[in-house]
Amino acid sequence: MRTATKCIQSGYKPKNGEPRVAPLIQSTTYKYDDADMVADLFDLKAAGHMYSRISNPTCGYLEEKITDMEGGVGAIATSSGQSASLLAILNLASAGDHILCMSNLYGGTFNLFDITLRKLGIEFDFVDPNATAEEMQKYIKKNTKAMFGETIGNPSLDVLDFEKVSTVAHKNGLPLIVDNTFATPHLCRPFEHGADIIIHSTTKYIDGHATCVGGLLVDSGKFDYTNGRFPEFTTPDASYHGLVYTEAFGKQAFILKARVTLLRDMGCTMSPFNAYLTNIGAETMAVRMDRHSENALTVAKFLEEHPKVAWVNYPGLKSNASYELAQKYLPNGASGIITFGVKGGAAAGKAVINNVKLATLVVHVGDIRTHLLHPASMTHRQLSPEDQLKAGVTPDLVRLSVGIEDINDIITDLTNALAKV
Ligand code: PLP
């Protein structure tokens, strides 16, 4: 099946006489008849649900759908995209370890890594994604545990050079973690291009309707954790009476270790209700992503021609620095997000934001409605001006998330707002 079919058909599979639509199992607990059976669940000898902090059938339907779309071996639905990134790092690194990231990460991820996780003793370096493989290699240390990048950077919109970055990672025995939020598995499947672990903020296009904050951590099952760099995977874990993850779980070592230790201990799990709504949203992901991409390309071309617009950044534009990478890794569409600057700088950009009527000012991207914001004074305002620039946020940058409304109405709205500048 292609992804457009998988997003509808994968995940929940009703048996004879069961509901056709994936049901909401709003229960924390599961009833068993036999004490030994529950002991086997705790010992991980039997598969099944015991407590919804660790797993739940409705969350499972969403996990299975996205695992199948991404081509992985398992996933965990988390309470947010932030908690998916947190679990990805903590499953590989502890105090004294090091992670090499691309410098154009989403501002919240940058804060999580550079401030909060640094306080816990994990070191991070942030390298320009346009650096050569040789330059990236210089950052790798003995204690490096992973590399981390975004398929499409938020909001720099650089497309990740998967071949370059995954080659550096694998040459050094490191897994590559990729945030695939802006692309979704319909437009890009990072495991096909060398990524080993994927995180998603399902809050964005996977839900698509701005109803639920959520995240997903997905495992490709391809990375070899027995290569000597990851003793936590290959030596007995005292918190699980001596379990050795690579021996017990094979290709699912990464994702099951994350579930039975980190999700158990930290509890940043997705609520069943959010999984229920997100799963319904995910069913239309393919048609939505095709339309978002088509609308965004038309808007980007319109802005590029507009006399009041200073610059436009959209990876689907031929003029764009990431155009070649977008053709290679996003051949079916470059998603719905555009950044642009209006002549007159930040004040002129804010005037557009204040004068649109159909588009709305919200702190969000990736839902069916068109909206926009000013990252320097909003999402990225906690970053220093230098860190903002490293993340690709200039003072005049307006971020536009193009929705799936009629394209003529979106263009009319922008035309009217620009006329007022
Ligand atoms: N990754 C990217 C690319 C994002 O844009 C966001 C949020 O904007 C996140 C991760 C964090 O996700 P959440 O807001 O669901 O915690």
Per-residue pLDDT tens over the stretch 111-144: 999 999 999 999 999 999 999 999 999 999 999 9
249 and 376 part of one domain: no
Angle at 373 between CA 367 and CA 376, to 5 degrees: 135
Q: Atom of ligand 1 at shortest distance to CA of 83?
A: 16
Count CB-CB contacts under 10 A for residue 20. 7
Is residue 151 a contact partner of residue 159, using CB atoms and an 8 Å limit? yes
22 and 115 part of one domain: yes
Alpha-carbon gap, residue 372 to 360, rounded angstroms: 6
Query: Cα of 80 to ligand 1 centre, how many Å?
Result: 8
Amino acid 12 reads Y
Give me the residues of the chain with pLDDT under 50, please.
Answer: none
Alpha-carbon gap, residue 207 to 103, rounded angstroms: 27
**Is the peptide bond preceding residue 185 cis, with omega within 30 degrees of 0?**
no
Alpha-carbon gap, residue 161 to 16, rounded angstroms: 46
Q: What is the DSSP string of 205-250?
A: TTT-SS----EEEEE-S---TTSSS-HHHHS-BGGGTTB-HHHHHG
266 and 336 part of one domain: no
351 and 265 part of one domain: no
Torsion of CA 229, 233, 237, 242, to 10 degrees: -120
> 412 lies in which domain range?
286-419
Is the CB–ligand 1 distance for residue 344 below 6 Å? no
Q: What pLDDT does 204 receive?
A: 98
Is the CB–ligand 1 distance for residue 108 below 6 Å? yes
Is residue 273 a contact partner of residue 28, using CB atoms and an 8 Å limit? no
Q: Atom of ligand 1 at shortest distance to CA of 154?
A: 3
Based on the number of CB atoms within 10 Å of its own CB, is 373 exposed (0-12), middle (13-18) or buried (19 or more)? buried
Angle at 259 between CA 118 and CA 66, to 5 degrees: 100
Alpha-carbon gap, residue 397 to 372, rounded angstroms: 11
Is the CB–ligand 1 distance for residue 215 below 6 Å? yes
92 and 236 part of one domain: yes
Q: What pLDDT does 417 receive?
A: 97
The pick from 106, 179, 211 for probing ligand 1's pocket by mutation, whose C-beta has the most ligand atoms within 8 angstroms, reads 106
Is the CB–ligand 1 distance for residue 184 below 6 Å? no
277 and 290 part of one domain: no
| 3-class SS of residue 396 | coil
Residue that has been written with the tokens 């557009």 in this structure: 352
Last residue of a domain, one of 239, 260, 281: 281
Q: Which DSSP state fits 262?
A: I
Query: Cα of 270 to ligand 1 centre, how many Å?
Result: 15
Alpha-carbon gap, residue 276 to 264, rounded angstroms: 21
Task: Identify the CA nearest to 88 among candidates 190, 192, 227.
Answer: 190
Task: Identify the CA nearest to 165 among candidates 127, 133, 126.
Answer: 133
Is the CB–ligand 1 distance for residue 109 below 6 Å? yes
The pick from 87, 105, 109, 182 for probing ligand 1's pocket by mutation, whose C-beta has the most ligand atoms within 8 angstroms, reads 109
293 and 397 part of one domain: yes
Last residue of a domain, one of 240, 263, 281: 281
Beta bridge partner(s), residue 77: 216
270 and 293 part of one domain: no
389 and 313 part of one domain: yes
Structurally, the chain folds into a number of domains equal to: 2
Residue that has been written with the tokens 């290959």 in this structure: 234
The contacts of residue 321 (CB under 8 Å, 6+ apart) are: 158
Q: CATH number of the domain at 43, please.
A: 3.40.640.10
Distances (CA, A) of 177 to 72, 319, 403: 13, 29, 28
Q: What pLDDT does 393 receive?
A: 86
Is the CB–ligand 1 distance for residue 203 below 6 Å? yes
294 and 238 part of one domain: no
Q: What pLDDT does 371 receive?
A: 95
Q: CATH number of the domain at 382, please.
A: 3.90.1150.10
Alpha-carbon gap, residue 293 to 312, rounded angstroms: 15
168 and 317 part of one domain: no
